[in-house]
Structure 1
Amino acid sequence: MCAPSSSLREGLSGPDRLDLRAELLPFANLLRRHSLRRPVCYTRCGGCGQIKAVGRSRDVEPRGLSEPKVVAGEIRDHPGESQPDKLEQGRVPPISRRAALLGAVSAATLWTAADRASCAPIDLANPALDVLKQEIRKAVTLAKAPGVLRLVFHDGFTFNPSTQTGGPNGSIIFELDRPESEGLKRALRPLEKVKATLGDNVSWADLIVVAGAEAVAMTGGPVIPVRLGRRDQGAADPEDQMPPETLDAATLKSFFHSRNYSTQEMIALSGAHTLGGKGFGDPTTFDNSYYKILLNKPWETDTAMTKMIGLKTDRALPDDEECRKWVITYAEDQNRFFLDFASAYEKLVTQGVTWKS
């Protein structure tokens, strides 16, 4: 049985609760004025910790980068899930933009304390998270989204359970000259603008993780709940922690298993290659084209262009029986891919984290 989730507000009553609402209402209204939508597609159960599809909505084409496509999902009654509170209507008091941004981000301590105490769904009225997303959407274009998502993998996948080193700790900013980080300097530039605006109110680790989730959402993928509170390491992680691009399927599976990922999670995370210039469909659309193209094996045709599609690790997947099973599953069911990718992404960005106290 899954226990009901809790939020910080449930622990407040009377004048304290009214004072908190009064303090945060200006920031909530400011965010509404900037047309930030909060589509609820997936959420984390407060008891079992699983990510669930909790809303059903027809696909909505984005009106720009500030409004991601809403991914349809089945409504599921599940103890422990919560819905966001409706924000009250009100006028926005006179306030400078920088004061609003820094004030809202500083208010994160009011909201993330409850999140760190349990596996409750992220409070979608969290002003710090909303402001961070807003700044990311202004800085990251569709063309930059693939590189931003790649940053998450190079920062988070370095976690080594045997040595308890690595993980999503912002260390990637010190590792940009490594061979495996080629191209990531360009991907980091838009996030440097966000960091310059918000300063120490957001860690590099949180910024990269949230930016990756936003990159997925703005390109048509699932809306992934993200928890704030990661602490930056302030130095580079050990070298040679990323899997080489030349591994065969068996060696690649062994590498992922050593990092606490199942074969299914490996295949789900590999779907991130649907973004970018690797030849798996539209480079700025997050969908299941990656798996469909893997099954077609276009690199086997005798043309120079098709021979450039994918990495060796990609091409090895459909030839492995265990991997092929999941490639077929995701090629036939995009919603299943979205659910499994969201779950694996959450694991990627929480394994090895040092949380702020």
Structure 2
Amino acid sequence: MVMSYLFSLILVMDIIVSGWSFGVDGLSMNYYIMNCPFAEGIIKNTVNMALQSDPTLAAGLVRMHFHDCFVEGCDGSVLIDSTKGNTAEKDSPANLSLRGYEIIDKAKEEIEKQCPGVVSCADIVAMAARDAVFFAGGPVYDIPKGRKDGRRSKIEDTMKLPSPTLNSSELIRMFGQRGFTAQEMVALSGAHTLGVARCSSFKHRLSNFDTTNNVDPTLDTQFAKTLSKTCSRGDNAEQTFDSTRNSFDNDYYYALQRKNGVLFSDQTLFASGITRGIVYGYAMNQAMFFLDFQQAMVKMSMLDVKEGSKGEVRDNCRQIN
């Protein structure tokens, strides 16, 4: 019996050690448990304090994570400042409206005081997005840690980001090239339950839409008037994606059913027979949306991650070491 107990104890310890992943390469849920155990708590507290002051930053953190991962993988490249010899990703037109950089900087500064040179900026971005979803009322999920920071950030790489003018088939193809199914693409689009879009991203739907229609026919007539009123204030005027700007829920999908999708790339998910059923499903069942969203977010957080010597841990998230 004693031998059996010892064998079981050894087996359990072996599982725990395997989960901790002490090696420098490879991601694991408990990557920092030995060399920076307070990292996750610092990030969570920093995000919580920021969102208490400005709840709209939740959308910014989630969007930053997506824009980071879809370009060169989840490597913190979106954080790098441009230099005299290089225009970085963050100065691309697609990224000029990104928000939340100061939250990442603050978390990094606090972590460096505890364990310098250990926690990557890429991991901070991924964890901050996860925590933002939670504090906005969304699903609880965890992600593996151990990403290294990339050494490349170029404006031309942001061409890989999906445009707000893409239709459902184009979105399916673009996300498919990154390994996502149509269902995962629609689930990730549900992040638009948070935040706003600027008029410049949807004004093309309101006049001279195509050779047949002046206004996008997939738009509800009254909602088109709402969008036109928003745009009367200029290209930077903001329109919420749904009625619960700072709450993570499934209201976004209800909006699509009412033909109240703000971006063409939003409404196309309901206009297309390929994805309409998924929209219906998420509108009817928030728990299903939450489950699929968290799984898709974990998958996205693993896109082309740099491990070991393929990356670095930046001292300053805004510049390469």
Q: Alpha-carbon deviations, 1:117-167, whole Å to 9, x = none?
A: 687788999543233322332334422111111001100122xxxxxxx10
Compared with structure 1, are the counterparts of its residues 178 and 120 closer, same or farther at alpha carbon in structure 2 (3 Å cutoff)? closer
The one-letter code of the counterpart of 2:292 is D
Compared with structure 1, are the counterparts of its residues 122 and 327 closer, same or farther at alpha carbon in structure 2 (3 Å cutoff)? farther
The one-letter code of the counterpart of 2:40 is L
The one-letter code of the counterpart of 2:149 is D
Please state if 1:326 is matched with 2:278: yes
Please state if 1:172 is matched with 2:78: yes
What is the percentage of aligned positions where both structures have the same residue?
A: 32
Compared with structure 1, are the counterparts of its residues 7 and 333 closer, same or farther at alpha carbon in structure 2 (3 Å cutoff)? farther
What is residue 193 of structure 1 aligned with on the other side? 106
The one-letter code of the counterpart of 1:196 is E
Compared with structure 1, are the counterparts of its residues 120 and 8 closer, same or farther at alpha carbon in structure 2 (3 Å cutoff)? farther
What is residue 286 of structure 1 aligned with on the other side? 248
Compared with structure 1, are the counterparts of its residues 288 and 114 closer, same or farther at alpha carbon in structure 2 (3 Å cutoff)? farther
1:1-357 matches, within 5 Å, as 10-11=13-14, 111-113=20-22, 127-140=38-51, 141-158=54-71, 166-174=72-80, 175-184=89-98, 186-199=99-112, 200-237=117-154, 238-277=157-196, 278-298=240-260, 309-356=261-308
Compared with structure 1, are the counterparts of its residues 352 and 12 closer, same or farther at alpha carbon in structure 2 (3 Å cutoff)? closer
**1:344 and 1:285 mapped to 2: Cα distance?**
19
Q: TM-score, normalised by structure 2?
A: 0.67
Compared with structure 1, are the counterparts of its residues 12 and 249 closer, same or farther at alpha carbon in structure 2 (3 Å cutoff)? closer
**1:324 and 1:214 mapped to 2: Cα distance?**
29
Compared with structure 1, are the counterparts of its residues 283 and 7 closer, same or farther at alpha carbon in structure 2 (3 Å cutoff)? farther
Deviating 4+ runs (over 4 angstroms): 6-9, 114-126
CA contact (8 A) 1:256 1:266 kept: yes
* Matched residue count: 240
RMSD of Structure 2 on Structure 1 (CA): 3.2
Q: Which one scores higher on RCO, CA 8 angstroms, separation ≥ 6?
A: 2
Secondary structure at the counterpart of residue 274 of structure 2: helix
Compared with structure 1, are the counterparts of its residues 336 and 245 closer, same or farther at alpha carbon in structure 2 (3 Å cutoff)? same
Q: TM-score, normalised by structure 1?
A: 0.61
CA contact (8 A) 1:152 1:209 kept: yes
The one-letter code of the counterpart of 2:124 is L
What are structure 1's unaligned runs of at least 5 residues?
A: 1-5, 18-45, 47-109, 159-165, 299-308
**1:244 and 1:145 mapped to 2: Cα distance?**
21
CA contact (8 A) 1:168 1:205 kept: yes
The one-letter code of the counterpart of 2:95 is S
Q: Alpha-carbon deviations, 1:45-83, whole Å to 9, x = none?
A: x9xxxxxxxxxxxxxxxxxxxxxxxxxxxxxxxxxxxxx
Q: Alpha-carbon deviations, 1:173-230, whole Å to 9, x = none?
A: 132110000211x321222111222233321100100000011000000011122111
Secondary structure at the counterpart of residue 281 of structure 1: coil
**1:232 and 1:123 mapped to 2: Cα distance?**
16
Q: Alpha-carbon deviations, 1:84-108, whole Å to 9, x = none?
A: xxxxxxxxxxxxxxxxxxxxxxxxx
Compared with structure 1, are the counterparts of its residues 8 and 243 closer, same or farther at alpha carbon in structure 2 (3 Å cutoff)? farther
CA contact (8 A) 2:42 2:110 kept: no
Compared with structure 1, are the counterparts of its residues 243 and 172 closer, same or farther at alpha carbon in structure 2 (3 Å cutoff)? same
**2:10 and 2:305 mapped to 1: Cα distance?**
22
Compared with structure 1, are the counterparts of its residues 151 and 118 closer, same or farther at alpha carbon in structure 2 (3 Å cutoff)? closer
**1:282 and 1:8 mapped to 2: Cα distance?**
48
**1:246 and 1:145 mapped to 2: Cα distance?**
24
